[in-house]
């Protein structure tokens, strides 16, 4: 059977059954948020909200349903606009620079740190939510705050795990998924011998490519800059990571240098590979399609390298409220509502675990224990670092990310287009354009 799934549309799950199960709030710990909102919208308020196009059908379905609930509770009309996720960053930058545009924009990673003076102080919202929902994950605080004030409201992350075929892992000689990079390399070498090798995106894949190469460099101790913002990417630790990437790449299916986000989904579902880095979408697509492969698909966190701890990156999004908005209280009320139970719980469940939460309370969401194959995605936000890693978030970290410096470095070294040392030196020169 031919499969042609992209990361954005692999979920074609019938919504009605899930919504029925979600009705009333699955956590059952709090009343409907509309009855307890902290912020009172302005008279006659209307909101325009810009966010990324759906990754999963259930995301958009519940996001729109929750927005309608907000309108019913407050009388504030909400207009939702969708843009491709590549276009969100430039749209937000234009709005910030011209002082006009949507009241709320859901941006990626550290976008808010590029123009913090253009954003509404949302410390009151963040503190109210943190108090009510057992606090924010540490990485959410890093993305959401600057100089002791909240400049954005972290909304979630499209988590990434190692997606693998259990039977082929066992055929390669492993009874469980490796927890360290040495074992991971041996597994990939074994999978190549089975004829169903690994395959990880090395093209400009904003999610899948960035996620796994940042883990790779970080787990060996490499980093773009140090705590003072000095460029340190050209280091012995980075070179070791790149040497490892070359060994790993030798086990991959051919063609991964040109892979974008949809390609590993398609390769896995077409039975060409047995291991990749992805969201939960591959498994859900197989289940929906009644593909026998679904029972053989499992998920695991990225293994640990020499640093001995989790060093992950996941596609992180935050709601940014702009100062030019005529209805700041309505914007705050909307974000509070969307991040509150049962709205957030239902949205997360309908998205089938594709989005990991930023508030600790949602660890309890039944979606995470509804199937053990979903559970590894529950803690992706807790396991991740910011894309700035040791350095301060801002224009430099965002620009370096957008320029794919780390991804290109790994691709060049892994494929043999450059030696590990030369690839690290080239990345250093590119990084200095932004960090000075």
User: For the chain, what are the domain ranges?
Assistant: 29-159+314-383, 161-312+403-435
Instruction: Give every residue of the chain whose pLDDT is below 50, as ranges.
Output: 1-35
Residue 436 pLDDT: 81
Backbone phi and psi for residue 304, each to the nearest 5 degrees, phi listed first? -90, 140
Q: Which residues contact 353 (CB under 8 A, 6 or more apart)?
A: 159, 280, 367, 368, 374, 377, 378
Q: Which residue do the tokens 């407050």 mark?
A: 74
Q: Which residues contact 175 (CB under 8 A, 6 or more apart)?
A: none
Same fold, 29-159+314-383 and 161-312+403-435: yes
What would the two tokens of residue 70 be?
């907000």
Structural contact between residues 285 and 267, judged by C-beta atoms closer than 8 angstroms: no
In which element (H, E) is residue 48 found? strand 46-52
Residue 22 pLDDT: 35
CA–CA distances in Å: residue 341 to residues 23, 26, 28, 40, 299: 11, 9, 9, 18, 27
Q: Report d(CA 69, CA 84) in Å as an integer.
A: 25
Q: Is 291 exposed, middle or buried, given 0-12, 13-18 or 19+ CB atoms closer than 10 A?
A: middle
pTM: 0.88
Cis bond before residue 4 (omega within 30° of 0): no
Written as one string, the DSSP assignment of 15-42 is HHHHHHHHTT-SS-SS--GGGS-SSPPP
Q: Which residue do the tokens 């490796």 mark?
A: 178
Residue 266 pLDDT: 96
pLDDT digits (tens, 9 = 90+) for 264-291: 999 999 999 999 999 998 998 898 899 9
Helix count and strand count (H, E) for the chain = 17, 11
Architecture in CATH for domain 161-312+403-435: 3-Layer(aba) Sandwich (3.40)
Residue 30 pLDDT: 40
Which CATH number is associated with domain 29-159+314-383? Answer: 3.40.190.10
Q: Report d(CA 198, CA 277) in Å as an integer.
A: 9
Q: Which of 396, 407, 366, 362 is nearest to 382 (CA)?
A: 362
Residue 209 pLDDT: 93
Backbone phi and psi for residue 363, each to the nearest 5 degrees, phi listed first? -55, -30
Residue 127 pLDDT: 97
Q: Is 315 exposed, middle or buried, given 0-12, 13-18 or 19+ CB atoms closer than 10 A?
A: buried
Map residue 290 onto helix, strand or coil.
Answer: coil
Count of Cβ atoms closer than 10 Å to residue 79 Cβ: 12
Residue 16 pLDDT: 30
């Amino acid at each position: 059977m031919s499969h042609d799934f992209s990361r954005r549309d692999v979920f074609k799950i019938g919504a009605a059954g899930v919504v029925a199960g979600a009705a009333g709030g699955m956590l059952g710990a709090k009343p409907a948020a509309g009855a307890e909102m902290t912020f009172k919208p302005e008279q006659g308020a209307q909101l325009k909200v810009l966010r990324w196009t759906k990754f999963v059908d259930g995301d958009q379905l519940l996001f729109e349903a929750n927005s309608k609930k907000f309108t019913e509770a407050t009388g504030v009309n909400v207009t939702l606009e969708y843009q491709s996720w590549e276009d969100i960053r430039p749209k937000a930058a234009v709005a910030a620079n011209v002082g006009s545009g949507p009241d709320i924009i859901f941006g990626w990673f550290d976008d808010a740190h590029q123009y913090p003076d253009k954003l509404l102080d949302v410390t009151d919202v963040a503190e109210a939510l943190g108090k009510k929902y057992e606090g924010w994950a540490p990485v959410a605080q890093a993305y959401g705050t600057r100089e002791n004030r909240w400049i954005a409201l972290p909304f979630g992350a499209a988590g990434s795990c190692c997606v693998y075929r259990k039977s082929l892992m066992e055929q390669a000689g492993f009874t469980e998924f490796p927890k360290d990079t040495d074992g991971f390399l041996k597994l990939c070498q074994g999978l190549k011998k089975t004829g169903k090798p690994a395959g990880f995106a090395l093209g400009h894949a904003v999610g899948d490519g960035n996620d796994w190469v940042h883990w790779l460099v970080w787990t060996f101790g490499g980093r773009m800059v140090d705590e003072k913002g000095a460029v340190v990417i050209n280091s012995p630790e980075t070179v070791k990571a790149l040497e490892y990437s070359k060994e790993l790449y030798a086990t991959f299916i051919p063609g991964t240098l040109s892979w974008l986000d949809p390609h590993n989904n398609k390769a896995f579902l077409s039975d060409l590979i047995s291991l990749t880095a992805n969201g939960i979408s591959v498994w859900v697509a197989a289940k929906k399609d009644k593909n026998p492969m679904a029972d053989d698909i499992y998920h695991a966190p990225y293994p640990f390298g020499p640093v001995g701890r989790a060093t992950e990156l996941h596609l992180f999004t935050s709601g940014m409220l702009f100062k030019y908005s005529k209805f700041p209280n309505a914007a705050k009320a909307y974000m509070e509502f969307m991040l509150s139970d049962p709205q957030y719980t239902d949205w997360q469940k309908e998205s089938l675990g594709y989005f990991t939460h930023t508030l600790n309370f949602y660890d309890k969401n039944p979606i995470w224990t509804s199937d053990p194959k979903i559970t590894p995605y529950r803690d992706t936000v807790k396991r991740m670092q910011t894309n700035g890693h040791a350095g301060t978030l801002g224009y430099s970290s965002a620009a370096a990310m957008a320029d794919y410096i780390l991804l290109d470095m790994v691709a060049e070294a892994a494929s043999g287009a450059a030696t590990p040392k030369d690839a690290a030196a080239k990345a250093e020169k590119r990084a200095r354009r932004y960090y000075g």
